[in-house]
């Protein structure tokens, strides 16, 4: 099997890279009128789909590719911190409420 990509495969990958690079800024621009970023919208959407619009912060962080405050892992998408209590032993939940 040849390890090199075919021309159509290279074109598809280049288009995918372009989409992944341009989409976040385009979404932020469109959602900016509502006062939220694409990442904040993802948090709210994820919470709205959760049972009783509640999730453990660790589950919310995992579903949105974020990191909890104080964690060593960082994500470029974690520009919005999901707040939690200082005591890590207790579970903290995020709750979506109507505006």
How far apart, in whole angstroms, are the C-alpha atoms of residue 33 and residue 2? 49
Q: What is the pLDDT of residue 76?
A: 45
In this structure, the chain runs to a length of 99
Specify the fold of 7-95. Arc Repressor Mutant, subunit A (1.10.10)
What are the tens digits of pLDDT across the range 46-88?
A: 999 999 888 888 889 899 888 766 655 444 443 344 444 444 4
How far apart, in whole angstroms, are the C-alpha atoms of residue 65 and residue 39? 10
Q: What is the pLDDT of residue 72?
A: 53
Which segment of 25-29, 41-45, 88-92 scores lowest on mean pLDDT? 88-92
Compute CA 76 distance to the chain's CA centroid, rounded to the nearest angstrom: 9
Domain boundaries, the chain: 7-95
16-to-8, 12, 19, 21, 39 alpha-carbon distances in Å:
12, 6, 5, 9, 20
Quickly state the pLDDT bin for 5 (edges 50, 70, 90). very high
């Amino acid at each position: 099997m040849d390890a090199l990509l075919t021309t159509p495969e290279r074109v598809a990958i280049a288009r995918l890279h372009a989409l992944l690079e341009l989409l976040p800024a385009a979404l932020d621009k469109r959602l900016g009128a509502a006062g939220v970023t694409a990442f904040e919208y993802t948090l709210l959407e994820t919470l709205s789909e959760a049972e009783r619009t509640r999730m453990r912060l660790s589950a919310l962080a995992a579903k949105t590719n974020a990191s909890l405050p104080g964690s060593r892992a960082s994500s470029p998408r974690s520009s919005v911190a999901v707040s939690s209590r200082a005591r890590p032993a207790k579970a903290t939940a995020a709750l979506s409420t109507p505006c």
